[in-house]
Amino acid sequence: MTRSNSLLWANGRQDPHLYRSGVDIAKYLKQVKGEISLTQLQGGLKMPMVEVWLGLLLGGFTLEQRGDFYHNQNVWVKSSPSYYQ
């Protein structure tokens, strides 16, 4: 199963909405052309934070933690996987 297909089968059931969030994130990152904080990404996408997290984690995006562990504003999204491009 490819990484993108794993989004469709999260939690043992097909969930195209999770796949869609990964695609939406990749498109947004192309517009930003660089890195963006998790909170800025979530605000720009106007998507619930849980959907952004699931899309990032299941979609194979590159994340970087800067600062304290429990602060969302310290998580940065740096790139999207090649299969979204």
Q: Which residues contact 32 (CB under 8 A, 6 or more apart)?
A: none
- What is the full per-residue pLDDT of the chain (85 aa) written as tens digits? 444 444 444 444 455 555 577 888 888 988 887 789 999 999 999 999 988 988 898 888 888 888 776 666 788 998 776 655 5
SS3 state at 50: helix
Neighbour order of strands in the sheet with 75-79: 36-37, 75-79, 62-65
pLDDT value of residue 67: 75
User: pTM value?
Assistant: 0.70
Q: Which residue has the tokens 């990484």?
A: 3
Give strand ranges (E) for the chain.
36-37, 62-65, 75-79
